[in-house]
Structure formats: C-alpha cells, structure tokens
Structure 1
Amino acid sequence: METVNYLQDELTAIHKWEKDQGDLWFWEKLSRLPFKLLDKWTPAFIQTKIGQLLDEMGNYIQNGGKLLSNASSIKKYYQHLSVHSLEEVQNLPLAEMKKAAAKLAKNRKKWAALQGASTGVGGFLTLSLDIPVLLSMQIKLLQDIALCYGYEPNEKKERIFIVKCLQFVSADVVGKKTILNQLSNYDCNSEQIKREVISEMQGWREVVYAYRDSFGWKKLFQMVPVVGIVFGAFSNRSSIESIAEAADMFYRKRRIVERLKMEQVTD
C-alpha cells in the first residue's frame, strides 16, 4: 500500500485543484452576498428541513439512472488484476484506481463526442434526444468512477454524492462554492458542516439554467449542419471531461482521507 507521504502529496494536489475551482472573481463574490445573508438569518431547523428536501430531490433525480451501473462492471476496469468485488477494489493501490478512472474517462469522452456529432447531423429531429442521452452518460460515468474507487453507487449516500458532483460541474457562481464545501467534507459528521441551503437552492436553479443554455446554444448552432456536428462533438466531449475530472478528484480525496485515518489508527 502507499506511504503516508505519497497520500499527503496526492491530497495536496487535490486541495490545489479545489482552491482553483472555488476561486471567484470580485463581482462574483458580490453576487453571492444576498444568498449568504439569507443563509445566516434562516433558523437552523428550517435550514435542516430544506437540506433534507434538497437531498431527497437529488435522490429522486438519481433514481432514474439507478440501474445504469452495477458492481459486476468492476471486472472490466481491473481485468489485469482479476478483481471481482468492491471489497477487493478498496484494498487496491491508489495508483491503480487513478489509472482505471482515467482509462474509463478517456473511453467515455470518445463516445460523448460521437454522440454529440450524431445529434448534429439530424438537426432539430435528433436534438431532443441529445440532453437526456448526455445526462444519462454523465450519471453513468459518475457511477462507474465511484466503482473504480470502491464505492457502491446504488447506496443512497452515494446517489446523493453523485448528483452533487453533477450539480458542482453545472453550477455557477453562487452554488459552486457551497457544493465544493459539501463534497470536500462529505464523510464528516453532517452536524459539523453548516449547510448554506439557500445558496444550494440557487445552485440547483443554476443546474437547470446550464442545461437550458446548453440546449439553446446547440439548437442555434445545429441549424447549420456542419457547424452542428463539430459543436455537438466538442460540447459533449467537454461536458464529459469536466464531469470525469471532478468525480476523479472528489472520490480520490475520499479514499485518501480514509486511508490516512487508518494510518493514524494503526500508529
């Protein structure tokens, strides 16, 4: 297994990535203030209730993709190691997990580009299929990366985590920092993490707006056949790339933190 120094170096790299993701411009920080004030003034019991409703919303959204992946897929990701169960994956070196996730992401980016290009060919006739198909690909990718790091994607806790990863990539300005904080501390005691639920609700709105805007731009560009093919391929590939990067970072961090805790217990 890895040394503590190796795990610490990996964790430092992830923290740097998180800092880059969480940095906002000055005017973006100003736009966040009204939501932070609402969070501060909202009574704790109301925040808790709204937080539960948001989690159930995420759970409901994720249920639609529940059967996209299952633990039997593990054999494909670790053929060279003859791994067949989540328990075996959890004991693999972190480098093997990273390699499996990277290979998976590379393959899915190719499929996403192909799918985006194919919807560009048909213009308006095939555009209506693009968003639901892309969303299914994103959820399946998140589930499969969870498996690569030894997590069961069909557990409620993991379903919520997966939807929050999806929300993180799609959110903008207000919701992103809130979700980043939640994902970074996901395995901590929930009572120790202040939930900025008003900001989180705004984050959900931003997810909807992001998909709406994506649909609108594709609709505009796909009126021109050749441009629609190129733009559809590039857009879908970029979307899958962003999802894969975020999922790899957050799941790797969780695994690293767990192993560092085990090292402390052992010592």
Structure 2
Amino acid sequence: MDTREQLTTHLQEIEAWEKDQKGLWFWEKLGRLPFKLLDKMTPSFIQDKIGVLVAELGSYIQTGGKYLINEQSMIQKIRNESSYKDIHTIPDIGKMPLEDMITLSKKLQKDRVKLATVQGASTGFGGLFTLVIDIPVILGMALKSLQEIAIIHGYDPNDIQERIFIVKCLQFSSADIVGKESILNELSSMNENKDASENMISQLKGWQEVFFTYRDQFGWKKLFQMVPIAGMIFGAYANKGMIQDITETGIMLYRKRRIYEKFNEIEQRENSVIE
C-alpha cells in the first residue's frame, strides 16, 4: 500500500519536472523557420496526404478509430509484470502500487524510444518520399504510447475524456512556457469536471493544432531527413527525441493524477476509521 510520505515524494519530483519545462530550446525555435520554406517546396501529393491525415486523426477524439489499442492484451501484460496480481479490469490497475506503475512506465518508454529510433532511421533512408510515411507513423506511435501509459496508471483510453487528456499531453510536450501553464490549468479543471459533453469542435481544432505543431517542430531535423541515406541519422534522432518527450510528458501527467487519487483514498480510509 502506498504511504502518504511516498506519494508526497513522487509528487514533489513531478512538480520539479513541471518547473523545468521551459519551452523550446533556441535552436528548436530556429528549426521551425526552414520548415515554412520546406512547406512551399513539398510536392502536392505529400500535402494531400497530410490533409487526409489531419482529418483522420481528428476523429480519434470522437471515436478512437483505428488508433485505439487492445486493452485486454495490455491488462494481461501488466498483470504478468506487476507485483499486484488482482488485476482483471483497467480500474483494478489503479489499485496497484505506484512503484509498479513507475517500473512499467520506464520499461514502456525505453521500448517505444528504441522503436521510434529504428523507424526514423528506416524512413530517413529514402529521403523526401519516405517522409510522407514517417509523419503519420510517428504520430500513431505517440497516440498508442500515451494510451498504454494511461492504462498503466489505471485510466481507460476508451473514455472520451481520456482521449482529450491524451491530446492535451501531446500539446503540452511541444508548447512554450505560457502554453504549458495554460494546459496544466486545463488538465486540473478536467480532473475536477468529469462531464463528457465538452465542445468537441474546439477539441478537434486542438488536435489539428497539435498535428501542425509537430509537423513544424520537426524543423531542420526533417529538412535534413529529406536527404537520402544521410536522412537516416537525422530521422532516427528526430523520432527518438519526439517519442522521448511525449512519453515523459504522459508518464508525469498521468502519474500526477494517480497520486492525487491515491491521496484521496488515504483520506477516505482515515476518515472512515475516525467515524
């Protein structure tokens, strides 16, 4: 059972991480500039593909579509690897010790970063024409990784509120300092308000913003990836960094939610004893 002291220590680590999120590095801001030029140079078939992708991924918030993962296989995996064995549903996972969640999250992050590195190198090999493959694949990987992180912390990505939370995690990982503060406030409000009838049009626009932000964030790294062969190095580096940032964001923000819920459980137990 998690103690109040253990939870406090982990919460302090997350709060320190939040303070360290100082937005984009200077070179990353510069990296967005050449992509505006690159955008004008990009062949129409790639632009068309990107347009289709935005519409397709936008439906993720509403239905999950093909990006929803198989939660049963994830539950089985967590039950096999966790010290807490009484796991049959996603809510059961929320009862396991936080240390197990941390261990499983680190393993998942390591595996996904390794996969993203290999994937970036393989698509970078072909230069411009494999770039159109790389962008949807890496974003799909990001979505699925965040869903797995959600399940590890006992949250169901089939819930529309969780899909909104996942999109906010994507936004947070690429936002500047002002944007990060705004998103943290939004997430706090979301945790307090469980009403699923939010304005889905604004959430859809939020997803489109995420997509174009990530497209721009590739910046000069993707510009160099357009060079055949040499693009392997830059593709591997760009995708590794992207998935590293996204999974770290998801882990920290989902862990923070779970810590607060465990605090509430402790308080309820203490109050029941007093009564």
CA shift, 1:204, in A, is 6.5
CA distance in 1, matches of 2:190, 2:93: 20
2:147 match: 143
Query: What stretches of structure 1 move > 4 A for 4+ residues in a row?
Result: 22-25, 200-206
- The amino acid that maps onto 2:93 is V
Q: Is the 8 A contact 2:60 2:163 kept in 1?
A: yes
Deviation per residue, 1:178-214 (Å, 9 max, x gap): 11222245312489xxxxxx9x999767634432324
Q: Is the 8 A contact 1:164 1:179 kept in 2?
A: yes
Aligned-residue CA RMSD (Å): 2.9
Residue 153 of structure 1 pairs with residue 154 of structure 2: no
Partner-residue secondary structure (3-state), 2:192: coil
Pick from 106, 111, 117 the counterpart of residue 115 of structure 2. 111
2:259 match: 256
CA distance in 1, matches of 2:208, 2:177: 12
Residue 177 of structure 1 pairs with residue 187 of structure 2: no
Paired residues in the alignment total 229
CA shift, 1:216, in A, is 5.2
Runs of 5+ consecutive residues of structure 1 not aligned to the other structure: 26-56, 192-197
Cα distance change of structure 1 residues 77 and 201 upon mapping to structure 2, 3 Å threshold: closer
Q: Is the 8 A contact 2:128 2:225 kept in 1?
A: yes
TM-score normalized by the length of structure 2 = 0.73
2:76 match: 75
Q: Is the 8 A contact 1:149 1:252 kept in 2?
A: yes
- The amino acid that maps onto 2:14 is I
Partner-residue secondary structure (3-state), 1:16: helix
Identity %: 48
CA distance in 2, matches of 1:147, 1:19: 26
CA shift, 1:87, in A, is 3.2
CA shift, 1:65, in A, is 4.6
- The amino acid that maps onto 2:77 is K
Deviates more, 1:171-180 or 1:102-111: 171-180
Cα distance change of structure 1 residues 65 and 186 upon mapping to structure 2, 3 Å threshold: farther
1:4 match: 4
CA distance in 2, matches of 1:24, 1:212: 15
Deviation per residue, 1:207-265 (Å, 9 max, x gap): 34432324553552124334310110011011111011111111111111011111112
CA distance in 1, matches of 2:170, 2:91: 26
- The amino acid that maps onto 1:217 is W
TM-score normalized by the length of structure 1 = 0.75
Q: Is the 8 A contact 1:119 1:127 kept in 2?
A: yes
CA distance in 2, matches of 1:109, 1:89: 24
Cα distance change of structure 1 residues 212 and 67 upon mapping to structure 2, 3 Å threshold: closer
2:132 match: 128
Deviates more, 1:128-137 or 1:82-91: 82-91
Cα distance change of structure 1 residues 87 and 214 upon mapping to structure 2, 3 Å threshold: closer
| Within-5 A mapping of 1:197-236 | 207-214=210-217, 217-236=220-239
Deviates more, 1:211-220 or 1:93-102: 211-220
Cα distance change of structure 1 residues 220 and 140 upon mapping to structure 2, 3 Å threshold: same
Cα distance change of structure 1 residues 60 and 203 upon mapping to structure 2, 3 Å threshold: closer
2:13 match: 13
Cα distance change of structure 1 residues 234 and 169 upon mapping to structure 2, 3 Å threshold: same
Q: Is the 8 A contact 1:170 1:206 kept in 2?
A: no
CA shift, 1:84, in A, is 3.7
- The amino acid that maps onto 2:15 is H
